[in-house]
Amino acid sequence: MATNGMRLASHEGAQFSANARSEAVPAFTSNDGVSYLRNPDTGSEIWLVGVVHGQETSVELSKSVVRTTRPQVVMLELDSKRLDDLPPGEAQKAEDGLTWFMPEKQPDDAVAQYVTLEGGGDDVELSRGDRWKGPFSFMSSSRAKSFVGAIKAMVDVFEEEEVSEMEVAVLEAQACGARVLLGDRDFEETKRRLVAAGLADTVGDERLDDPEALLNDSMSVSNRKKFAGLDLRKPETRETAGEHYAAMKRLSNQRALEAMVPERDEVMASNLMTIKGKPITVALVGLFHVDGIERILKRNGWNHGPA
């Protein structure tokens, strides 16, 4: 997988090899929430990125992984009903059953404004004679360079405000010409499953970003006290998220837990495996979903290498 002049990872060790520029190994490769998987039969590659929704470090992680790996697909833990955190756009369902997010094209004057004010095109490199690949292939190389630089500048501007890791990922996807896949199960189906498990039918889609809080509500009073009394570290890494998940398996409503995590893991893993071709995909999901999705992919022949 050659990307930006360096080979990022392989299933034989997921090691970076230096090129003539001796580019530094990105910091995200040491993050325990980042996992690299490859399908030896198709050559498809997935960077599975576990995030803490709404946390600034996750915004930076999302930006770094997408900008460095330059994927063809970015998958988000969202569905067509949950687009509030994304830039303007719409969801479209394809014949293969996958749902893609189609961001609105930035108007030319906005692109020009960002390039002029931010100098966004200066740090974007395109090889001489190359045409931009992806949704903006109709552009000349020079215009694509300006457009990509403008999108990157917009990311930097938006980061001064409160933005989500999903919004930044979409902007970075636009900058490298990647498609955006909405990989999660339809919220109405998840809500139906949660209500069937005994949760109130007023549960809102925002609760999906914090499964621990939602499942805490489903615990008995005694189990809630037991959970609160556990000496658990904050679930900000893959390891600590695993500790919290193990505690939830012991103490929470099991049917609700299944609806919140494992069932959605199955849907997201299935959608990742449905993508056609041999793409590099970056999949942004909550930390609680990384272990399950990785396990399903490996069960279906994907090889894992530490990122």
Cβ atoms within 10 Å of 201's Cβ, excluding its own: 8
pLDDT of the residue at 105 = 72
Write down the pLDDT at residue 21: 36
Above pLDDT 70, what percent of the chain?
A: 71
For 158-187, the pLDDT digits (tens) are 444 467 899 999 999 999 999 999 999 999
Instruction: Evaluate whether residue 123 is within a structural domain.
Output: no
Residue ranges making up the domain that contains 59: 33-105+159-185+263-306
Total structural domains within the chain: 1
The predicted-structure confidence for 83-102, as pLDDT tens digits, reads as follows 988 999 999 999 989 999 99
Identify whether 59 is part of a domain.
Answer: yes
Size of the chain in residues: 307
Q: Is the pLDDT of residue 304 over 50?
A: yes
Within-domain flag for 144: no
Assess if residue 292 is contained within a domain: yes
Inside any domain, residue 237: no
**3-state DSSP call for residue 30?**
helix
DSSP assignment of 150-189 equals: HHHHHHHHHTTS---HHHHHHHHHHHHT-EEEE-SPPHHH
Inside any domain, residue 291: yes
Q: Does the residue 41 lie in any domain?
A: yes
Is residue 48, in this structure, part of any structural domain at all? yes
Q: Which residues on neighbouring strands pair with residue 262, listed in sequence order?
A: none
CA–CA distances in Å: residue 87 to residues 79, 80, 171: 14, 13, 8
The predicted-structure confidence for 55-87, as pLDDT tens digits, reads as follows: 889 999 999 999 999 999 999 999 999 998 899
